[in-house]
Amino acid sequence: MAKIFIVDDDQSLQRLYTLILTKAGFEIIATAFNGKSAIEKYNDLKEKPDIVLMDHRMPIKNGLDAMTEILQIQNNVKVIFASADISIKQKALKLGACAFLDKPFNMRKLLTIIQQVNKEILLEN
């Protein structure tokens, strides 16, 4: 199963994502509360994630900027955006996100997207 890195400034959402995704068999290898710490943690991870679940509106550095830098470090990581800011959807997808979840969304939709991306990863490997 895919290893996931959660980047969201909302701690309760981080906990909810972690609970749902670990119950479904995924491994959460790291979390970050803003784009700057996400990049720092990503660089420090010995084992890189397969999937990054990324929010957009965060303090210090937003999700688009963080995703761009992470993709420069490892261009094959799958980034799934989860944001209420629908105005950045096309830009996120154009810059390299593989999926975009419009907040608010239900956890079944999150699981479905993560499972689809996990299948893509398995097919690529």
Domains of the chain with bracketed CATH: 3-113 (3.40.50.2300)
* Token code pair at residue 26: 């995924």
- Judged against a pLDDT cut of 90, whether residue 125 lies above it is answered with no
| pTM greater than 0.85 (yes/no) | yes
Residue 72: pLDDT band with limits 50, 70, 90: very high
Average pLDDT, the chain: 95
Q: What backbone phi and psi angles, to 5 degrees, belong to 13?
A: -70, -40
Give CA–CA dist 84/92, Å, rounded: 13
